[in-house]
Amino acid sequence: MDSARSFDLPFVKMHGAGNDFVVIDQRSSQACLTPAIARAIGDRHRGVGFDQLVTIDSDGDADARLTFWNADGTTAGACGNATRCVAWALMDESGKDRLLLRTERGLLAAERLEGGQITVNMGQPQLDWTEVPLARPSDTLHLPLDGDPAAVGMGNPHCVFFVPDAEAVSLERDGPALEHNPLFPQRANVEFASLLGPDHLRLRVWERGAGVTLACGSGTCATAVAAARRGLTGRHVVVEADGGTLEVDWREDGVWLTGPVARVFAGSLDSSLLREV
């Protein structure tokens, strides 16, 4: 190994129910991220690989400000599992059990629960077609698309299908076209859910800008909201994603997302990776 080589961008790899993230703390070092750099880091063969990249910045009115990048170099307004992961790391750093985190979605409250799980209030769902947003006036509970999906905004747009068997869906086949459907001017996250039992859902996800992911926090929230609105479940549901189990509780003050978090490893990005882009 060349000891003279410069390793100058620290990061931490984390995941929540298999939804994986690269976390870069910009409070101590400015990364100056660009879409090209985010794509390079997100490459699972030539970079580190992630579903989303999260940067942490200082904020005068919150414990921190978070920005989310997708693997394709675009940004995301919300990311529930990444918010929970960063909340855990900041709680571990500060000794606090409650935090306020600023995102494009707004100020989100996060709490540490017994057993180490982290819960975050993802805010109220956006249920009007203008909020999702959609390209034209539509009933968000029954979109004019084959399969009768619902639309929910959670700081990012979601298209939720209820199917007999989520396991039988080909995400790689159906996800791309639905993500780019003209009804969604900002593209869409696409969820396929099936009912396993009372207040118990199976969920598989195609994420906007990331593709197939093992879980999606905002998508889990959107699916739970759509299921409750359609009378399929109550407002507190358990959701089985490909990567693990999450819980959603749609309360008066917002949609709370709860689940496990894990810190996988820490490292530093070689400056040559950044120079190449």
Query: Which residues belong to the active site?
Result: 79, 216
CA distance 72 to 37: 10
For CA atoms 266, 270, 275, 277, the dihedral sign is negative
* Distance of alpha carbon 215 from alpha carbon 204, whole angstroms: 7
CB within 8 Å of 207: residues ≥ 6 apart:
51, 70, 189, 213, 216, 219
Write phi, then psi, for 220 (nearest 5 degrees). -65, -45
DSSP assigned state of 164:
S
Continuous H helices in the chain: 35-42, 80-94, 171-179, 217-229, 271-275
- In 3D space, the residue among 241, 185, 237 whose CA is nearest the CA of residue 214 turns out to be 241
* Token pair recorded at residue 176: 């791309």
What is d(CA 29, CA 18) in angstroms, rounded to the nearest whole number? 27
Cβ of 4: how many Cβ atoms within 10 Å?
5
